[in-house]
Amino acid sequence: MKEITFKNRKGTALVQQVSNTLPDKLMETVNAMERISRCNFVIKNPHQRRLVYVSKNTDLLGGKTAEEIKKLGHSGFQNLVAEKDRGLLQLFSTKGHEFFYARIPLIDRMKYTATADFHISNDAGGDQLINMTLTPLALTKTGEISLTLIKFQASSSGTVGNIRLLNEETRKGYFYDQYLDRWFTLEKEHLTAKERQILYMASRGFNLKRIGEALYISTHTVKFHRQKIFEKLAVGTIVAAVTKSYQLGLL
């Protein structure tokens, strides 16, 4: 048995004595998320350097079974990532870890998620661009993450990288520029519901006409909203707007 400090989203400590098996309610929640989403889930224990849980659905994890992935273990887990992106994964791990513990206050650590986009290699020899999101599930008394939920889903950004830490309550956070080797502060831009809808459809390849038809507005009105999006995000193209919106966690 090991004492682990669970914290709710308001930062209230909930200290429990737990074994190496996961709490039943946590497992019920993860199983429910598996059923209603197209995501794959892994739970990792950073201290024991092991994978505690791998979802039965492993479509986004290279075609390997849950048992095969568990056998890879903590250190071998990176072998699922395409070789060309393993340096990016290492960067995400080291830079994110350093920044998280240096800059995020203990009381806020359970509110943050870390996310990045990279390719997973499958057994057929192809690569798939996925988005990986890490969410703390439990903290030790000293504030270190003792359980992490990792969610894998198909990436919609179209690009690798996009390393960021986001506060899920305020949607503010930090974005890491790997070329400048610097973290930058992200502020949530105020976008209207209509602007978000237009961005979402644009990210999925809808042209102006199709967006207008879907939202029952004219192409001219779509162009008006699109220009407002450009101004708020300080970009000049819809591609740049979609990319930046993912970096800011707006989509």
8-22, 202-216, 224-238: segment of lowest average pLDDT: 8-22
Better pLDDT: 196 or 122: 196
Residue 189 above 70 pLDDT? no
Predicted TM-score of the model (pTM): 0.72
- Given this model, what pLDDT does residue 64 score? 86
What is the average pLDDT across 87-113? 93
What is the average pLDDT across 201-212? 92
Determine contact, residues 251/242, Cβ cutoff 8 Å. Answer: yes
Determine contact, residues 117/161, Cβ cutoff 8 Å. Answer: yes
- In the chain, what percentage of residues exceed pLDDT 70? 89
The owner of tokens 């602007």 is 195
Cβ-based neighbour number of residue 117 at 10 Å = 21
- Given this model, what pLDDT does residue 177 score? 86
Domains of the chain: 2-186 (3.30.450.20), 193-247 (1.10.10.10)
Per the rule left: phi > 0, alpha: psi between -120 and 50, beta: everything else, 176 is beta
- Given this model, what pLDDT does residue 188 score? 62
- Given this model, what pLDDT does residue 154 score? 86
Highest mean pLDDT among 9-13, 19-23, 59-63, 244-248: 59-63
Token digits of residue 130? 């996925």
Q: For 35-67, what is each residue's pLDDT tens digit?
A: 888 889 999 988 788 888 898 888 888 888 889
What is the average pLDDT across 217-238? 90
Give the mean pLDDT of the chain.
Answer: 83
Would you tell me the crossing angle of helices 208-215 and 193-203 to the nearest 10 degrees? Answer: 130
